[in-house]
Amino acid sequence: MSVAYSTKMEPMPQYDLSRLPENTALKQQTLPAHHLEFSASVVLSIFFATGGFCLCMGIILLLSAKSTKKIEINYTNICANCARLREDSSNFDKECTCSVPFYLMEKMEGNVYMYYKLYGFYQNLYRYILSRSNSQLVGKDIWDVSNCAPFQVSHNNTPIVPCGAIANSIFNDTITLSYHLNSSIHIEVPMLKSGLTWWTDKYVKFRNPRTSDLASAFAGSAKPPHWARPIYELDTEDPGNNGFINEDFIVWMRTAAFPTFKKLYRRLRRVHYFVDGLPAGNYTFSISYNFPVTVFRGEKSVVLSTLTWIGGGGLFLGLMYTVTGALTLVASFVILAIHLMLKKSKKDFL
């Protein structure tokens, strides 16, 4: 059996020379390179320096956090009668106010902040977070309710403004603080409703429609079902704090990551008796109970707190720095011991 071989040569493939990289050191990957080789002393120095820095920083943060003064008053059970009244659907429109007296043992110097704190309220649910209209909130299209299920339109098919589950569930308790100057004279502590939000929220993410009359701009819309007033009546005394740019509304719309959270409600106005902060003494919270919590077995508190240069009195950041620094120092000593043992065994071998 014979096999025939072809002696005809195949043509060479044609290459597009224009697509070849230029003959430069960068594009041909021939640049000089340097391979770092750290000695044991350098590595140990880096480990010891990092561990020492983290440990010192952690101690400073913990001491700073401990220096904050804070008092928390849980009024869920104290206002139980109001809770039963408000959470009965037949009494939804009735107001109930309760008083919560307390004694401030130490003076709170400097700036004092009032927060409301909720327990067991999940703002991190996926459908809850998506139930909002960003085009509404920036004043671009207040009639856009496409992403606001189940709070898109009212019972008579009128668009809800602001729409969505987040806006509908806004915290609406009203909290005022009174200072007992003596047994007969009670002074309402002056509080500020401004300066509560991030700058980007106040001036970028939330904007009112471009009009001088908010009532006419929102005419034809419906308020959320759980709201007592429409969006253009949130703060009629201050036009710069009304509508979508109301700071209480903006603070609530920034959803929390955990079911227990606190949000800034007011700032102390440092005038008259409160120039240096809150003096020690007797106080009373007057709370208009509107926000229901017992239906989901939650609780709510009001918190008064001072701040430091790192913010609030949370210990998490300080603990993380301290633990990281301690573990790094332990690892440094372990590496040092191994290095000395290997160095000694090498000398014995020689």
The answer to which of 28-32, 149-153, 168-172, 343-347 has the lowest mean pLDDT is: 343-347
Query: Which range of residues forms the domain containing residue 164?
Result: 59-318
- Could you tell me the pTM of the whole model? 0.79
pLDDT of residue 111: 92
pLDDT at 90 over 70: no
Give me the half-sphere count of Cα atoms (radius 13 Å) on the Cβ side of residue 147. Answer: 16
pLDDT at 114 over 80: yes
Is residue 50 assigned to a domain? no
Is residue 111 assigned to a domain? yes
Is residue 95 assigned to a domain? yes
- The long-range contacts involving 224-228, CB below 8 angstroms and separated by at least 24 positions, are 224/151, 224/160, 224/162, 224/163, 224/167, 224/168, 224/170, 225/151, 225/154, 225/160, 225/168, 226/168, 226/169, 226/170, 226/172, 227/168, 227/170, 227/172, 228/172, 228/290
Alpha helices in the chain (DSSP H): 40-66, 80-86, 126-130, 134-137, 165-168, 199-200, 214-217, 247-253, 316-349
Domain count, the chain: 1
Give me the half-sphere count of Cα atoms (radius 13 Å) on the Cβ side of residue 218. Answer: 24
Is residue 196 assigned to a domain? yes
> How many C-beta neighbours within 10 Å does residue 70 have?
15
Tokens of 239: 């036009």
Is residue 231 assigned to a domain? yes
Is residue 348 assigned to a domain? no
Is residue 74 assigned to a domain? yes
Cis amide linkage into residue 11, ω under 30° from 0: no
- Residue 176 confidence class, pLDDT cut points 50, 70, 90: very high
Token match 């043509």: residue? Answer: 11
Is residue 349 assigned to a domain? no
